Chain A
Amino acid sequence: MNKLKTVLYSAPWSARFGIVVILIFSVISIFAPLIAPYGETEIIGKSYELWSEKHILGTDNLGRDMLSRLIFGARNTIGMALLTTFLAFLIGSITGMIAAVLGGWVDQIFGRIVDVLMSIPSLIFALLILSFFGTSVTYLIGTIAILEATRVFRLARATGMNVAVMDFVEVAKLRGEKLGWIIRKEILPNITAPLLAEFGLRFCFVFLFISALSFLGLGIQPPSADWGSMVRDNATLISYDDITPLLPAGAIALLTVATNFVVDWMLHKSSGLKDVN
């Protein structure tokens, strides 16, 4: 606990700000039903009501409480982005480490598949897949996870390669250990640090990606509250000089900036880089 304290005290203001924002957002999304004044899909008034004491941020295009939607949106949007990022890491790091340990044609096949997937812009690829399969959350998560897994694969393979040529891996192979054991016990513990930093970065990408698709009306489907689609649904209010639709967009931006600040600090710490003049 004391160690954690010293680490936090050594953090620059940007990283502290990031940590505080991330903590607040996690508390909000975990306790969403307790914090929100109204239900997620509950229609409680006329559409586009102004900010008032009863509805702090007014109501949305269907007369649902904006603040409650924002709070539940945190849960849905962040939850889905986290799930997708986990999935991407599961796929990417396992295939990457397998490619690093086995090498040869396995490495070649994985590598070429990743090359092709990375040569198309992910948004275009996602749009293509969604037009084939229709807008469903399952396919959305699957598609984004696979697209992001290509980036994780590259990292896991590159860092895993450096470990795979070490003597202790050679010894483990000679001992007759199986592939799964080598990956879990020899490779993974040695590449955890870069993978963790990458997790923050990839989370930002996935989060922005899902929000963008939701904004286009192709992501999380109504009536679930979600920040991207909330911007889209209430965008007309902007023409009346009302900043309400900017709030969910601002929430997306705030969380992304916060995560970037923390990742930046972690990378800086783990690489041991000092400011060079």
Chain B
Amino acid sequence: MSHILKVIAQRISLGFLTLFTISLLITFGVELLPGDLAESILGQGATPETVKVFRAELGLDEPAHLRYLNWLGGIVTGDLGVSLASKREISELVGIRLANTIFLGGFAATIAVPLALFLGILAALFRNTLFDRAINTFTLTTISFPEFFVAYILILFFAIKLGWFPGISNISTDLSFGDKLYRTLLPATTLTLVVLAHMMRMTRATIINLLASPYIEMARLKGIRPIKIILRHALPNALAPIVNVIALNLAYLVVGVVIVEVVFVYPGLGQLMVDSVSKRDIPVVQACSMIFASVYILLNLSADIISIVTNPRILHPR
């Protein structure tokens, strides 16, 4: 048992080390810019005074290591600084939007994960039939599609032609939960289609792989029905790799969210980040990147830990 705790502790510290390196990259990346950031953003017409004020605002007149320590201290205490464009507190801007993004991601995950498992199991059960091939081709094509293509096709059919759902998901805090679900259904479906393929194919592959093992053959020879073999015998052993793939795909969801939010004008973190990039509102971009990177790393880390904990070979080393 102590062995596994050691391995997990190693992974977690490695994760924090990565986060630390990334925070360095996010803050010191500004230094890589040839010339001066303030001049480059304000353009050539800026007077020396405005450049000076701007530098003071960004904290560029402080030495880099002090700026980094201030920024890190701010992140830990929840004070993310002030937006350059709107002069508002970044923590205030980010707060609601982060909650909205998590809502959208969570919604997509609650559709995608059970659906992927269900389709994967069905495809494994009816492998190499027409059903299997159809579902395979369908999912393969959806991964090759850009997210915005899937999103606009859904808008065209369900929002414009049929008029069932709104094509723009403007949600606010005073909406009821049901209303929120209704308005976010199209973006959530888009995200689902994007991540479904990989999860489903992994589920199918893992189960088919297990079906070749001797104990399954034994079960089959005993005369157990195929569906029972898969659910009772194969699935429990396939769970570990499947959970791993799910965690990896949730990490992907975090990124896919950016484009989907822009298409549906959904008030989430991704849209805030894209807007801030075009306005070159650096403090907001830095805060958003740090949040996205942390979530991504944490999800990858948990995928890593899950696969360690569920692997008996690592649990009981010889």
Are B146 and A238 neighbours in the complex by a CB distance under 8 Å?
no
| Cβ contacts under 8 Å, A277 to chain B | 127-128
Q: In the complex the two chains form, is B156's CB within 8 Å of A241's CB?
A: yes
The CA-CA distance from A76 to B30 in the complex, in Å, is 30
Contacts of B147 in A (CB 8 A): 212
Say whether B262 faces chain A, with CB atoms less than 8 Å apart.
yes
Q: With A115-B18, A131-B277, A218-B274 as given contacts, are A252 and B33 in contact (CB-CB < 8 Å)? A: no
Contacts of B22 in A (CB 8 A): 116, 119-120
- The reply to whether B155 and A238 contact each other, CB–CB distance below 8 Å, is yes
Q: How far is the CB of B98 from chain A (nearest CB, A)?
A: 14
Asked if A208 lies at the interface with its beta carbon under 8 angstroms from chain B, I say yes
**Residue of B whose beta carbon sits closest to that of A259:** B144
Residue with the greatest number of chain A CB neighbours at <10 A, chosen from B26, B140, B152, B262:
B152
**A window 93-125: CB within 8 A of B:** 115-116, 119-125
Cβ-defined partner of A124 (8 Å) among B160, B263, B293: B293
The reply to whether A121 and B148 form a contact with Cβ atoms under 8 Å apart is: no
Task: Report the count of interface residues on A (CB-CB < 8 A).
Answer: 44
User: Are A121 and B296 closer than 8 Å at their CB atoms?
Assistant: yes
| CB atoms of A128 and B146 under 8 A apart | no
* Contact residues in A for B262 (Cβ distance below 8 Å): 215-216
Q: Specify which chain A residues have a CB less than 8 angstroms from the CB of B277 in the assembled complex.
A: 127, 130-131, 216, 218
A48-62 contacts to B (CB < 8 Å): none
Cβ contacts A to B, 14 pairs, < 8 Å: A116-B18, A116-B22, A120-B296, A121-B292, A124-B288, A124-B289, A131-B282, A134-B41, A239-B167, A241-B156, A246-B149, A246-B152, A253-B141, A257-B144
**Which residues of A sit under 8 angstroms from B274, Cβ to Cβ?**
127, 216-218
Cβ of A80 to closest chain B Cβ, rounded Å: 15
Number of interface residues of B (CB under 8 A): 53
CA distance A179 to B248 in the complex (A): 38
A174 within 8 A of partner (CB) = no
Contact B167 A231 (CB under 8 A): no
Interface contact B273-A127, CB-CB below 8 Å: yes
In the complex, the answer to whether B25 meets A116 with C-beta atoms within 8 Å is yes
List of B residues within 8 angstroms of A115 by Cβ: 18
The SS class assigned to the B binding surface is: helix
Q: Given contacts A119-B18, A218-B274, is CB(A241)–CB(B160) below 8 Å? A: yes
A-B contact count (CB 8 A): 132
* Contacting pair B146 A212 (CB below 8 A): yes
A235 proximal to B (CB < 8 A): yes
B32 at the A interface (CB under 8 A): yes
B311 within 8 A of A: no
A256 within 8 A of B: yes
Nearest neighbor of A232 in chain B, beta-carbon distance:
B148
Q: Would you call B189 an interface residue if the criterion is a C-beta within 8 Å of the partner chain's C-beta atoms?
A: no
CB of A243 within 8 Å of the partner chain: yes
**Does A249 count as interface, using CB distance less than 8 angstroms?**
yes
Tell which of A124, A256, A257 has the most Cβ of chain B within 10 Å.
Answer: A124
Report how far A277 CA is from B208 CA in the complex, Å. 9
Contacts of A235 in B (CB 8 A): 152, 263
Whether B156 lies near A231 (C-beta < 8 A) is no
Q: What secondary structure prevails in chain A residues at the interface with B?
A: helix
Best-surrounded residue of B148, B262, B292, B300 (most CB of chain A within 10 A): B148
Partner of B40, one of A119, A127, A134, A239: A134
B207 at the interface (CB under 8 A from A): no
Q: Which residues of B contact A239 (CB under 8 A)?
A: 160, 167
**Min distance, Cβ B285 to any Cβ of chain A, angstroms:** 4
| B7, chain A: closest CB distance, angstroms | 18
Contact B144 A260 (CB under 8 A): yes
Q: Are A218 and B278 in contact (CB under 8 A)?
A: yes
Quick one: which of B128-172 are within 8 Å of A by CB?
128, 140-141, 144-149, 152-153, 155-156, 160-161, 167
- B96 contact set on A, CB distance < 8 A: none
Confirm or deny: A132 has a beta carbon within 8 angstroms of a beta carbon on chain B. Answer: yes
Q: A127-B274, A128-B26, A246-B156 are in contact. Are A260 and B140 (CB under 8 A)?
A: yes
Q: Mark A257-277, 1 if CB is under 8 A from B, else 0.
A: 100100000000000000101
B254 interfacial contact with A, CB 8 Å: yes
CA of A129 to CA of B260, assembled, Å: 21
**CB <8 Å contact, B29 and A257:** no
Residues of B within 8 A of A241 (CB): 156, 160-161
Give which listed residue, A129, A249, A260, contacts B152 with CB less than 8 A.
Answer: A249
Tell me, yes or no, whether B249 is within 8 Å of chain A by CB: no
- A residues near B37, Cβ cutoff 8 Å: 132
A212 close to B280 (CB less than 8 A): no
Assess whether B21 is interfacial by the CB under 8 Å rule.
yes
In the complex, which residues of chain B have a beta carbon less than 8 angstroms from the beta carbon of A275?
A: 128
